Structure 1
Amino acid sequence: MKIGMIGAGEMGGTLIRQYTKAGHRVKMANASGIEKLKSLALETRASAVTLTDVVTDVDVIVITIPLIGILKLPKQLFKNAPTRTVLVDTCNYYPIRDGILKDIEDGMPESVWVSNQLQRPVVKAYNSILYRSLVHSGLPKGTPSRLALPVSGDDKLSKDVVSVLVGDSGFDALDYGSLQDSWRQQPGSPAYCTDLTLAQLKKSIESARKELLPGGRELGLKYIMTHDPELWTDNVKHNREIYESNLDA
């Protein structure tokens, strides 16, 4: 596939490495400009381009930026991208970073908000895994202990495309329905950064309770901000404990 990446930080850079290794042709752009991407381009052979170029002549566009950055993208950025181009939203809402967004605070699923801002359909994926799990925990297809990631969206063919990319990253994909259902993979949910197998994910995602997400999100964030990020498995364990306590609430 031909893939355009908007954002090349920890998550974006990891996906670029995984996609190029799998044989995909990747273009990338970020807010810091092409010069900042030179070393990653040399490492992966991905092309560093402008924002305008990154969305043209691609099959998939993956957006890996802070959610508030959606508002900073040029309004007409996607006007030349064909309607068949799949947009992947990996963003998560954290008020401490993004400010208070009333629609999301009032219950709008985060990716519905993103889709509204971009005025394009999106598929929600890759938002529910820690960067270090994405780097270290991928396994070959068919491995019994392979972890799974939820994929939500309104178009089945688009979700199938994204599921292929999730597989190329080393994870099983769980099609979990429409974009309206994507709240079940938002921060604070049992699917969020808990590193579950496909069977475990199918069971736990059904247990999500929307009213408990903000509290779980803040507990998870507080833990991450006060602990060594290299001990990411401890973060995963803590997120699981939050989920289990929510079941008892």
Structure 2
Amino acid sequence: MTAIAVLGVGRVGAAVARTALQGGYDVRVAGSGAVEDIALLAEIVIPGARAMSAEAAVEDADMVILAVPLSKYRTVDPGPLAGKVVVDAMNYWAPADGPIAEFEDSRLTSSEIVTRHLHGARLVKTLNHIGYHDLEDHRTPPGTPGRRALGVASDDEPAARAVMDLIDRFGYDPVYSGPLSTGAAFQPGTEIFNGAFAREAFERELGHANGTRLSA
């Protein structure tokens, strides 16, 4: 896997794109503005990334990373994403973004709602529980003592494994939590979202969180 498309060129998308470049990926970026404007931004903020339309960026990408505001997720065309491994790095955080009715149902995670719109995509939840500054600053080589861990949730295990390879190349220990519903353990407001954990501590927190969810 070599080609990554990042949809969204805000602070999160730019940090993800730079980290992917450092991981050795061919990175294409797309945003809501004109390609020419995105190209100028990319030249300054994400040197090495190629600016394209969303459709062109996704077409030949091995993996797509969604880093748009969650309130805009329905602007993402599901057609070109069918069959693609798609990373959902978005969050629902009502105190910051205001309440969104469809995400107020606590029985579902935000990713479980997003995947209904992106029908056909192989959705994986991760990269949502690390700050954009930390993503670039905390990365370390495999085997580093205390290496930070990141959770990966998906109903598609092969897609999850592909994303776990990406997380490792990004500089973090990937931890598969299970299906998309288990991504609740690292949504905003959780211990995992609010902290930074090495693998063993991360797995312990994950067990606590999912045990609580199952018994709720």
Match of 1:137 in 2: 138
CA contact (8 A) 2:81 2:118 kept: no
**SS of the residue aligned with 2:20?**
helix
Alpha-carbon displacement from aligned partner over 1:130-158 (angstroms, at most 9, x marks no partner):
12211211111100111000000011111
Code of the residue aligned with 1:177 in structure 2: it is G
Percent identity over paired residues: 25
Match of 2:124 in 1: 123
Is 1:109 aligned to 2:104, yes or no? no
Greater strand fraction, Structure 1 or Structure 2: 2
**SS of the residue aligned with 1:100?**
coil
Code of the residue aligned with 1:12 in structure 2: it is G
Structure 1 residue 121: Cα displacement: 3.5
Separation of aligned partners in 2, 1:113 and 1:210: 22
Is 1:93 aligned to 2:92, yes or no? yes
Alpha-carbon displacement from aligned partner over 1:180-213 (angstroms, at most 9, x marks no partner):
111111011111141110011000122227999x
Is 1:169 aligned to 2:191, yes or no? no
Separation of aligned partners in 1, 2:38 and 2:70: 21
Separation of aligned partners in 1, 2:152 and 2:5: 19
TM-score after normalising by structure 2: 0.88
* Stretch moving more, 45-54 or 90-99: 90-99
Structure 1 residue 82: Cα displacement: 4.9
Match of 1:50 in 2: 53
Match of 2:207 in 1: 206
Separation of aligned partners in 2, 1:117 and 1:39: 29
Alpha-carbon displacement from aligned partner over 1:33-60 (angstroms, at most 9, x marks no partner):
3213424246532110012212211110
CA contact (8 A) 2:42 2:50 kept: no
**SS of the residue aligned with 2:151?**
strand
**SS of the residue aligned with 1:191?**
helix
Alpha-carbon displacement from aligned partner over 1:214-235 (angstroms, at most 9, x marks no partner):
xxxxxxxxxxxxxxxxxxxxxx
Aligned length: 208
TM-score after normalising by structure 1: 0.77
Pair 206,155 (structure 1): closer, same or farther in 2 beyond 3 Å: same
Unaligned runs of 5+ in 2: none
Pair 211,117 (structure 1): closer, same or farther in 2 beyond 3 Å: farther
Match of 1:30 in 2: 31
Pair 146,65 (structure 1): closer, same or farther in 2 beyond 3 Å: same
Code of the residue aligned with 1:63 in structure 2: it is L
Structure with the larger RCO, 1 or 2 (CA within 8 Å, 6+ apart): 2
Unaligned runs of 5+ in 1: 213-249
Cα root mean square deviation, aligned: 2.1
Structure 1 residue 71: Cα displacement: 2.2
